[in-house]
Chain A
Amino acid sequence: MNAPVLTREQREAKLEGMGCKRKRVEDIRFTQGKGNYVDDLKLPGMLFGDFVRSPYAHARVKKIDGSKAEKVPGVLAVITAETLKTVNLAWMPTLAGDVQMVLADGKVLFQNQEVAFVVAVDRYAAADGVEAVEVEYEDLPALIDPFKALAPDAPLLREDLKDKMTGAHGPRKHHNHIFEWSMGDKDLTDAAFAKAEVTTKDIISYHRTHPTPLETCQCVASFDKIKGELTVWGTFQAPHVIRTVASLLSKIPEHKIHVIAPDIGGGFGNKVGAYPGYICAIVASIVTGKPVKWVEDRIENLTATSFARDYHMTTEIAATRDGKVTGLRVHVLADHGGFDACADPSKWPAGFFNIVTGSYDFPVAHLVVDGIYTNKAPGGVAYRCSFRVTEAAYCIERAMDIMAQKLGMDPAEFRLKNFIKREQFPYHSALGWEYDSGDYHTAMNKAMEAINYKGLRAEQAAKREAFKRGETREIMGIGVTFFTEIVGAGPSRNCDILGVAMFDSCEIRVHPTGAAIARMGTKSQGQGHETTYAQIIATEIGIAADNIMVEEGNTDTAPYGLGTYGSRSTPVAGAAIAMAARKIKAKAQMIAAYMLEVHEDDLEWDIDGFRVKGLPEKSKSMTEIAWAAYNKPPPGLEPGLEAVSYYDPPNMTYPFGAYFCAMDIDVDTGVYKVRRFYALDDCGTRINPMIIEGQVHGGLTEAFAIAMGQEIRYDEMGNVLTGSFMDFFVPTAVETPNWETDFTVTPSPHHPIGAKGVGESPNVGGVPCFSNAVNDAFSFLGTKHIQMPHDYWRNWVVAEGLGLHK
């Protein structure tokens, strides 16, 4: 039976390839409660582990007595650092070149640090066992304020490093110092400042917060003593890296370790690193010979697994009186907590913070980052951003506003005046990056028109007058932001994690009937890879996206890759997908030529197959070619139709965007209302506009949370004050503003499909936009820089300080 003849448009539409608003295929299971998460896993005889945690931020651990706990019905073992020492696992390496205690070894360095691991037959018995463990502590003075860390008399936190004055990134200048990292030209920058007409200098802090995925960190470890094989199911954003690290630590050969990341309920950077829970579950499984599950609760997630930010950035801009920037100087005090557990590429202790010159043509710049220890939880992960890029974007976008204010210039105009121009790309920044492509002026002008920027400013001017006359207690702020990101880590010449180069991979197998399976080294945590990756393949080789299964997360079947974070999936794995598809297409062309009895060069690609040039009726569809590939391959060509590609990107990609926000603040209560938020994103080629929009909505919601109240806050004793959702701000649909999205398209010149990555842009650009709006609201009353987060109370404190409540 012949299928009806389809028009070209119909054939194209059927593929649901790139550019199509294809509905997310994974949502069919997610919205019906049929996802398969780590905690859904139930194995025969499975045990549960739970942690005894430190109530103190800094204390000596004098004694751990597990004897009562071991008598609790159902409790099988209490594991301490002493137990772990017998297998040389009391400490573990971090991704940042530091070491971290798995369980408290002599002292604790942050509140809720893991002290002992109780293994029991179920989670209830484990929790009762935790209650019964007796720990004797000797309280030590806690160091919480990063600005006091390097004082000569600051308490010594890391006794293990006392005599080690060289760390993974060079010399340490104090017992609480981790590294100093610098970029740029100091002398030229100093010279630019010496002759500058106008300068600004401000401490711009980006407070500590937390990625807070809906699903917390968790794993099940199962060691098979007979086979000597270890299987670990876990919430891993980078499963292959976990496998390699597990092999290096446990000495189990890598082929006998099976790491599987099933469905993941959000990651945002929280699930990149390795945590004590994983190590303890693995050791417990090796010791007991049974599978052991560890599941973090919300408080544990917020207080112990990786935080984000905590960057304190002294920022100076030099400019001419007429508003041209001439130099940038930034010093960062980077608070890493008790251990340096940042998840950055290994050679980048402050990530890609040197993107801090942003979208502007700074002739010179100099950057120094000092990493320090405090008595807070370890981490420093990229919470929905490329490594330290959101800190950098916040820093420059606030600083540009401060300078505009000082110059008496409109912040949008000031930006337009200093943008890198379209013809300057590829652009070499003063801090060492090569920006691939951009058209900032077009994007900014489009955005300003879309929101009627002039109109908003006029409205604001009128409202300010009314405020001064006492007719309203509301002030209006307009947030302006233009960010440039750097994503897609990354080229092997400068990016690796513990020596593993940061390529990514894809393997595609086309089955005889023309359906296909594709596997990658990345791992979706909600980004929609199953949907978008199939769209890339659909466009590249003409198989309908619905006939392509995308599978990730099983290290036995997926090709090696570095996982998903830092918006690297599309820039790196997305490129590998296109390259693997193109290998398949090349073979398909040979087969089609044989089938059509023409020379390969006489064929051209046409949506979903090859046709003979000039004879469009002579064609072979990909389905026909696939069948032939297996069953009637050309003589001399081996059967089958599959390909693997490992992609080492030549450069990063540089997405950008223009964001605007209009907000009103009631000076009597501090209550704000976001009236409008407009986000224009340029992420190069757009694979699935609906998914892009969804990513932007989600990222903006996180940005809104962070800027307006979300924080991990400690008191001076080191107690976490925001350890649950009562106090850690996660907005609901009620608080979340309405998002207006827009775009321009400036493809990446070096990426096979021109795509740049978008998942993190809204978090990166959103935070400064909200903060700039609050700052802009108050600026006419004489404020210069107001630190985040801008919750109601803090807004009120600003108003109080301005004498507005008299």
Chain B
Amino acid sequence: MIPGPFSYHRPKSISEATGLLADLGEQSRVLAGGQSLIPMMKLRLAAPEHLIDIGAIAELKGVQRKGSTLVIGATTTQHELQQSKVATDAAPILLEASLLIADPQVRYVGTLGGNVANGDPGNDMPAVMMCLDATYRLTGSGGSRSVKARDFYQGTYVTALKPGEIVTAIEMPVPPAGHGWAYEKLKRKIGDYATAAAGAVLTVSRGKVATCTIALSNLSDTAVLATDAAKAVIGTALEKPAVEAAMKAARAVMSPASDTRGTSDYRIHVGGIMVERALKKAFSRAKG
């Protein structure tokens, strides 16, 4: 439980950070809250020679609402996110999901940027970002670009992030007033990753689901958007057949590994139940 040797850098600006990443190359790694990276280093599953701590970069912090867009700085911690009325009023699912991550100690230092950049299917925020159709701002020494959360994840620990790039901010359209939301997570205990989790964001018009997105955590090698499951409930008032169709469609895109949380078939079964619960809760919260 002791990491290999590394050197430590604490840049003050994005350009300094991207410069360091470019200069130090392959063997350098961004350090945010350290709540995923440091455990991996202690297990020597990761052995970066250089850690670029982005915690002192003021530009990466903070939550702002710009019109109908919510912009969250990458190093905003889970705790700060929970405390931000701007964020949680605009998209209450952020608060619900964030409170289900790890434990208070981890949430005081773990960052939103780290959570979405990490690429672990067990992270909860990627699915939430898919539900909200968020976009990640990525900056490297060569410039900046944007990638949608829905296009970002390619496999376990494999993302669209290119070497030398930093996630600087997460942007999302503020969901319409009166929308319904829910994040349902089954876990063994506080501090555990999901056995299965599902997020749902929907709008209701005249008692029927008008729009809906559903995304799943830890039920595949990345977070997944359950498009067909969402389609199955649009135009319905979540009658039993619609919910069952959604569960079935969602289960069809789940392929979790068997682990100590349970076998794959168990996780798929309860994954469906998380979808059901998220849909029902979101529906009950929606106005319209």
Which residues of A are in contact with B by a Cβ distance under 8 Å?
123-124, 127-128, 131, 297-299, 668-671, 709, 713, 721-722, 725-727, 729, 731-732, 734-735, 791-793, 796-797, 800, 805
Measured between beta carbons, the chain A residues less than 8 angstroms from B66 are none
Bits for B46-80, please: 1 = Cβ < 8 Å to A, else 0.
00000000000000000000000000000000000
Q: Do residues A735 and B262 form an inter-chain contact, with CB atoms below 8 A?
A: no
| B162 in the interface (beta carbon within 8 A) | no
Measured between beta carbons, the chain A residues less than 8 angstroms from B10 are none
Q: Do residues B266 and A735 form an inter-chain contact, with CB atoms below 8 A?
A: no
Q: Do residues B262 and A726 form an inter-chain contact, with CB atoms below 8 A?
A: no
Known: A726-B192, A793-B261. A668 touches B273 (CB 8 A): yes
CB distance from A731 to the nearest CB of B (A): 6
Measured between beta carbons, the chain B residues less than 8 angstroms from A131 are 4, 44
A805 to B189, CA, bound (A): 24
User: Which listed residue (A713, A735, A805) contacts B260, Cβ 8 A?
Assistant: A713
A713 to B5, CA, bound (A): 32
A669 to B261, CA, bound (A): 12
Residue of chain B at shortest CB distance from A299: B1
Q: Do residues B189 and A729 form an inter-chain contact, with CB atoms below 8 A?
A: yes
A and B contact pairs by CB, cutoff 8 A, 18 listed: A128-B4, A131-B4, A299-B1, A668-B273, A669-B273, A709-B188, A713-B260, A726-B191, A726-B192, A729-B189, A732-B103, A735-B189, A793-B261, A793-B262, A793-B266, A796-B262, A797-B266, A805-B269
Known: A123-B2, A127-B2, A297-B1. A796 touches B189 (CB 8 A): no
A787 to B150, CA, bound (A): 43
A721 to B4, CA, bound (A): 24
| B109 in the interface (beta carbon within 8 A) | no
Q: Which DSSP category, helix, strand, loop or mixed, fits chain B's interface?
A: loop
A123 to B1, CA, bound (A): 10
Q: Which DSSP category, helix, strand, loop or mixed, fits chain A's interface?
A: loop
| B156 in the interface (beta carbon within 8 A) | no
User: Which listed residue (B186, B190, B191) contacts A792, Cβ 8 A?
Assistant: B186
Q: Do residues A796 and B44 form an inter-chain contact, with CB atoms below 8 A?
A: no
Which residues of B are in contact with A by a Cβ distance under 8 Å?
1-2, 4-5, 44, 103, 186, 188-193, 195, 260-263, 266, 269-270, 273
Q: Do residues A128 and B5 form an inter-chain contact, with CB atoms below 8 A?
A: yes
Residue of chain B at shortest CB distance from A797: B266
Known: A131-B4, A793-B261. A729 touches B188 (CB 8 A): yes
CB distance from A405 to the nearest CB of B (A): 27
CB distance from A15 to the nearest CB of B (A): 42
Measured between beta carbons, the chain B residues less than 8 angstroms from A722 are 260
A722 to B259, CA, bound (A): 10
Residue of chain B at shortest CB distance from A708: B188
CB distance from A649 to the nearest CB of B (A): 41
Question: 6 tightest A-B contacts by CB?
Answer: A793-B262, A127-B2, A297-B1, A727-B260, A734-B190, A732-B190
Measured between beta carbons, the chain B residues less than 8 angstroms from A732 are 103, 189-191
CB distance from A332 to the nearest CB of B (A): 27
A227 to B191, CA, bound (A): 51
Residue of chain B at shortest CB distance from A735: B189
Residue of chain A at shortest CB distance from B196: A669
Q: Do residues A735 and B1 form an inter-chain contact, with CB atoms below 8 A?
A: no
A713 to B2, CA, bound (A): 25
Q: Do residues A792 and B195 form an inter-chain contact, with CB atoms below 8 A?
A: yes
Measured between beta carbons, the chain B residues less than 8 angstroms from A668 are 269-270, 273
A722 to B4, CA, bound (A): 24
Q: Do residues A721 and B273 form an inter-chain contact, with CB atoms below 8 A?
A: no
Residue of chain A at shortest CB distance from B261: A793
Residue of chain B at shortest CB distance from A50: B2
Known: A669-B273, A713-B260. A298 touches B1 (CB 8 A): yes
